[in-house]
Structures are given as C-alpha cells and as structure tokens.
Amino acid sequence: MSLLYSKSADYDEKRFEDYEKYRAKRPDKTPEEIVAHVEHAKDYANEKYFIDEYFERYEAYRAKNPDKTLAQVVQAVNTNIDRPYYTGVVTTDMSKGYQIMVNKYYKLPDDYSTKLESLSGYGNGYLEPTAAAAFKKMVEAGREAGVNLRSLSPYRSHSLQVWQYQVWVDAHGQEMADRESARPGHSEHETGYTLDINTAVEEAHFERTAEYKWLMENCWKYGFILRYPENMEYITGYVFEPWHYRYVGPEHAEKIMKSGLTFEEYYAYYINNPDYPETGGPVE
C-alpha cells in the first residue's frame, strides 16, 4: 500500500499511518495531495487547538497573513474570523443544547422558539426556565455576599431584535450597528439563555464594580460566562460588554472561565470538533 504514496516527492515511509488516517477522512484526495497535506500539517503539530479539517483554511489565511504566528492562524480560522462577518452563515446546530453557538456566522433556525420563565423579583423580563432558575440562584448567592444583581435585558423576541438592530443602523450606520448590536436571528438574546445584568452602557463602567468582580469569580458556578471579554472583539465580533452573560451550564462554564478562552474558541475546539470527545477535554 505504501507504493500508493511513494511517487510523491515528499513521501516519508515513517508517516504511512498518518497518510492512511487522512485518506480515510478525505477519500476524495489524490495520494500526492494526501502526502502534501500530512507534510505541511507538521507545522501545526504543537498547536493545541489545531483542527485537521480546517487545514486548507489555515494555509490560505497564513498565506494572506505571513506576519501571523501559527497560533494566531489557528485561532482566526477556528473562530471564523478569516471570513468577513455575516458570510458563510450557517444555522446553528440545536443538538448542542445550552452550548449552541449564535454569533455573526451562526444563526438561530427561522422557526426557533423556547419556553420562558419570568424573572419577576430578580429584575426584568424572561429567560429559558433552566437559565432562569440558575440566574435566580446566582442573584441570591450574590445578595448573601453583599452584591446586588438584577436582570436588565434578558430574552428578546425576533421582532424586537429586528426593531432594535434597525434603530442602531438608523442612528449610527450599519458598520457601527454590527459592532454594537446583532442582526436579527444572530442575537444571543433571542435564545433565552442570555441577559444583561444591571446595565448595558459602557459609561456605567460595570467592570469597576463589586458586582462585576463577584461575577468574574462566581458566575461559572451557576452556569454563566462573560460572553464578550475585554480585548477579544477581533474574535467575538463585539466590544467588551462586562454586563452580558450567557448560560452554557456549570461544567462548560467552569472550563471556559478558567481557561480564558472565548466561547467562539471553546465551541470550535471542544463542542463542534468531531475529532474531540463529546464531553470536552480537561482545561489546563
């Protein structure tokens, strides 16, 4: 069988098993393409978040951005930022449950709906029942610690998101609207898993409050993550929002918050990567 690959100039008999593994995944590739892929993929061997099926995109992005490190190349492609916003959009995989991705590349199904539970007594609006129960527990724990948390802007209907996004466009233009708001169908608020806590304006400097400090230390215990961290706009697509929290479940929330990964990165490697165990891996 090794004769299949031996005509390639880059053939290395020691890599035969690697050739066969890639051939099993990509039977459409020629032996020469298989050998070339395995040879070039060696460059990424030490990149923890390398995903084999993205190899061709890594190489394309690397060619256009020769100043980027391999880690930066992998990060960019894994989170789709090698593509312009709102291009190559796919409908999110609802089988992922509380870990579904909704952003500028993943949208909710057109017929999406969810059950809702009131947050009365804990602020405004509604959340999906499991997320609502978790938020209420978090608020109560916060009260015991001397911090006050309340829901300001939780679930948003699709029609409300249509209106809100258009308000941004009319006031600031589409480019700014896409930085500060989400296009309809692309807003986490439509999931029922997300809410803004206490405020939703930069001028309030929520990140300087005792409430924010407490959330950073404890939100994961209740299944929530800070969705749009500081200095990560180039990955998440949104400016720092210290008030915006997303329910993903305690197990995943702990891994995300302790790893320092954005949800985009975590989703790409642990949730949506067919080569990784479904449960996700340990966070170092």
The residues annotated with a catalytic role in the active site are: 241
Residues, the chain: 284
First vs last Cα of the chain: how many Å apart?
A: 40
Residue indicated by tokens 């602020």: 123
Cβ contact 184:158 at 8 Å: yes
Q: Is 17 exposed, middle or buried (0-12, 13-18, 19+ CB in 10 A)?
A: exposed
Strands, E assignment, the chain? 90-91, 106-107, 117-118, 126-127, 151-153, 194-197, 224-226, 244-247
- In sequence order, the 6+-apart residues with CB closer than 8 A to the CB of 192 are 114, 115, 116, 126, 127, 128, 131, 154, 155
- In sequence order, the 6+-apart residues with CB closer than 8 A to the CB of 249 are 97, 98, 99, 223
Residue 118, SS3? Answer: strand
Strands, E assignment, 179-271? 194-197, 224-226, 244-247
Radius of gyration of the CA atoms of the chain, in A: 22
Give the C-alpha separation, 104 to 237, whole Å.
7
